[in-house]
Amino acid sequence: MAESVVQLKCMCKHDPWGKKGQDSLAARLAAKTPGTDFKIDNNQFYSEMWMGTYPTVPSFVLSTGESLQDYLKKHPEFIGKSVLDRAGPDIPFLPKILSMTKALPLQVHPDRKLAEQLHQRDPKKFGDPNHKPEIAVALSKFELFAGWKPLNDIQSIFGLKPLQRFIPSGHTHFNDETLRRISKSLLEAPENVVAETTDQLSRLPESAFGQQLYIPGLLDRLRKQYTEFDNGNLIAVLMMNFLTLGPGDAVFIPADGIHAYLSGDIVECMARSDNVLNTGFCPRAERDSVDLFTQALTFVPHDPQEAILPSQKSDKGMNGKTREYAPPISEFNMLATCLNAGESETVKSILGPSIMIVTKGSGKMRVPNKTFDIQEGYVYFVGQGVPLEFETESGLGVYRAYAE
């Protein structure tokens, strides 16, 4: 008889912004699947561990070796009627563990309408017609750029002499259209202009930056990562919110929300898509059209607090040990169950599929008629309608993305 809860084997990617060898949480978690042939090479970069059915980096059922996608096609009853009607025998979200030591590309994910057009035009590059809103929950100190600073803050920075050349004529009072045009000017600026502007800014006294004293130091840090010629440096540092989060803190990035993750380890979840437009923090040859990028931009969020996704105690946790991250989209929510030594939690059944990963500690997970010994790095698909009981002698952290 098919099992509604199965352990998964997940793969890890090697993007150059990832962490090296054992430093990468993504690699360490991926290597802990029992019986895996995945071994960590300390000279290799490890960036993302993917969990789910997306075909680029699929997950496999540990006991049978078949892909989770094939398993669910044979057993669509584990998806649950409402998700099955909406998404077919598939997982409508894509969870990942990311470990990063330098900035990811400055990017937006096209909304559904643009994604459909791009997929039709170039299905090899844009592999699906879906949008890609996402959340990121910090597992360590996590630095990122997300969304836009308040207009007044941007306007005051662009009053500095080295930046005045980028202000469109007639724009004495900034609005979002001003930002779109400045973004285009900054992204189209020749390399020598980018380097010269960065150099001029670094020579200004710290006091010139008002409340934003971090700007010169951050420009210098990015210049060392991606050279002084990268257009992304200026957009990110001058115009975007720079956030530092601690473990358990989270952000929501809407479709078309500009962002660039900078450092740390996170659990991320997004709608089931891999579409992205990049224009900075990557080689020039890999950048997308500036026209397309600036056309796709939206101006949400427009304040650091608007980017934050608070968690709240979940009514699915019977003992009050489970918190929920609920972004304003229909594709998924995420539960975080955190137990200290000797604690337990029962999580009510969910009317849809879920994927869970143990991010720290060890313990037992009981489902009807079966008990699993679980530990850091173990990943499971949980079918609809299955209550879970967790207990631990040493402490346990579990993240679980689900659709209902």
In whole angstroms, give the CA distance from residue 139 to residue 264: 8
pLDDT at 379 over 80: yes
Q: What is the dihedral angle through the alpha carbons of 54, 56, 62, 63, rounded to the nearest 10 degrees? A: 80
CATH for 103-309, options being 2.60.40, 2.60.120, 3.30.70, 3.30.2310: 2.60.120
Look-up of token digits 């909304």: 111
What are φ and ψ of residue 238, in 5° steps? -85, -30
Euclidean distance between the first and the last CA atom of the chain, given in angstroms as a whole number: 24
In whole angstroms, give the CA distance from residue 270 to residue 131: 9
Q: Is 209 exposed, middle or buried (0-12, 13-18, 19+ CB in 10 A)?
A: middle
In whole angstroms, give the CA distance from residue 137 to residue 60: 24
Fold of 311-402: Jelly Rolls (2.60.120)
pLDDT tens column, 310-324: 999 999 999 999 999
Give the containing element (helix H, strand E) for 162: none
For the chain, domain boundaries = 103-309, 311-402
Q: Please indicate, yes or no, whether the overall pTM of this predicted structure exceeds 0.75.
A: yes
What are φ and ψ of residue 240, in 5° steps? -105, 155
In whole angstroms, give the CA distance from residue 20 to residue 40: 9
Both structure tokens of 42: 């300390």
Mean pLDDT confidence for 367-372:
96
Look-up of token digits 């008002």: 210
pLDDT tens column, 66-98: 999 999 999 999 999 989 998 888 999 999 999
pLDDT at 394 over 80: yes
